[in-house]
Amino acid sequence: MKEYAIESALPSRHAIGDYLVLAKPGIVSLVMMSTLTGLCIASRGLPDLWLTISVMTGIALATAGSAILNNYVDRDIDAIMERTRSRALAVEAFSPRNTVITGTLLVVISVAFLLSAVNSLTAIFTGAAVFGYVVLYTIILKRRSSFANQVGGIAGALPPVIGYVAVTQKVDLTAVMLFAISAIWQHPHALSIALKYRDQYESARIPVVPVAKGVRSTKKRIFIYTALLLLVSITPYISGMAGIIYLFAAITAGIYYLGLAVKFMMSKRDCDMFLFFYSILYIVVIFAAMILDMA
């Protein structure tokens, strides 16, 4: 009987799998990498080990909590879209009530931990990112306006800034440039994936840009944002923050990205997943070059 009671109290493999689906470990990993970039840039090399562990722990908890709350709010539309159906099933398996409690606890613990173990600015920016993603983007705008991606992009651009202020404890020109590059990059990246799943978004009545404005308009926007990204990516060199290694990487990767955007805009295709995957490679390359140059 005792053995049975202990086994019943432990989470099953199925429950753990549901939790991982809700927490979106892939997104958590990307956010942590983005935050680590800010840490390395601010430290001009390898950051302090304890500070890194503290920031990574806080960011992982906040991101997982935000993802869980996002899945709770979107459980009805996730059930409609094929690419997100497993999330809706996970919410039901985990129970909506427990989903909200778990997500909220993770966010609160994260902000409190960052406030005590790192600094107030890091905690404030983390809280702002959660608020922007969960409240402004997911709850208020996502189902009502194609402008939702603009707000979501702001929240998504904060992780490198969070890593940066964890070291510097201030917002300066470098932090602003990190934010600008990340914020602009969010748009062609998100629009590319929205094009691929346009029909599913339309079925779920989510007014993403391809649904609200059409494919042609979306392709033009990808081109505009990519061109703007190329220009903004050069500012770290102009300001003296980064050197020739970064400049070469930013121009080379940026021109190729812009070329892909032009080619896609002129084509008759409705989506281009190579453009989407290249956007991920692009941001990794220029941030890696920035870290290498500053170190």
Tens of pLDDT, residue by residue over 84-121, are 777 666 667 777 888 899 999 999 999 999 999 999 99
Q: What is the pTM of this model?
A: 0.90
Last residue in a domain, options 116, 145, 168: 168
What is the crossing angle of helices 159-168 and 173-196, to 10°?
160
Tell me: do 22 and 104 sit in the same domain.
yes
Number of H helices, E strands in the chain: 17, 0
Tell me: do 160 and 294 sit in the same domain.
no
Report the CATH number at residue 152. 1.10.357.140
Task: Flag whether 4 is in a domain.
Answer: no
Tell me: do 176 and 138 sit in the same domain.
no
pLDDT score for 214? 95
Tell me: do 115 and 41 sit in the same domain.
yes
Tell me: do 215 and 140 sit in the same domain.
no
Count of C-beta atoms within a 10 Å radius of residue 20:
13
pLDDT bin (cut points 50, 70, 90) of residue 10 is very low
pLDDT bin (cut points 50, 70, 90) of residue 14 is low
Burial profile 131-162: b = 16 or more Cβ within 10 angstroms, e = fewer = ebbbebbbeebbbeebebbbbbbbbbbbbbbb
Tell me: do 206 and 294 sit in the same domain.
yes
Tell me: do 189 and 159 sit in the same domain.
no
The mean per-residue pLDDT over the stretch 56-61 comes to 97
Place of tokens 């590319």: 192
Task: Flag whether 19 is in a domain.
Answer: yes
Task: Flag whether 6 is in a domain.
Answer: no
Distance between CA 49 and CA 69 in Å, rounded?
30
Distance between CA 33 and CA 35 in Å, rounded?
5
Give the list of residues 6+ apart from residue 126 with CB closer than 8 angstroms, or none.
58, 59, 62, 110, 111, 114, 158, 162
Q: How many domains does the chain have?
A: 2
Give the tens place of pLDDT for each residue, 118-143: 999 999 999 999 999 999 999 999 99
Tell me: do 197 and 149 sit in the same domain.
no
Tell me: do 153 and 19 sit in the same domain.
yes
pLDDT above 60 for 202:
yes
pLDDT above 90 for 60:
yes
Task: Flag whether 107 is in a domain.
Answer: yes
Tell me: do 140 and 16 sit in the same domain.
yes
Distance between CA 211 and CA 224 in Å, rounded?
19
Tell me: do 137 and 192 sit in the same domain.
no
Distance between CA 167 and CA 42 in Å, rounded?
6
Count of C-beta atoms within a 10 Å radius of residue 84:
19
Domain that holds residue 35: 12-168
Tell me: do 199 and 122 sit in the same domain.
no
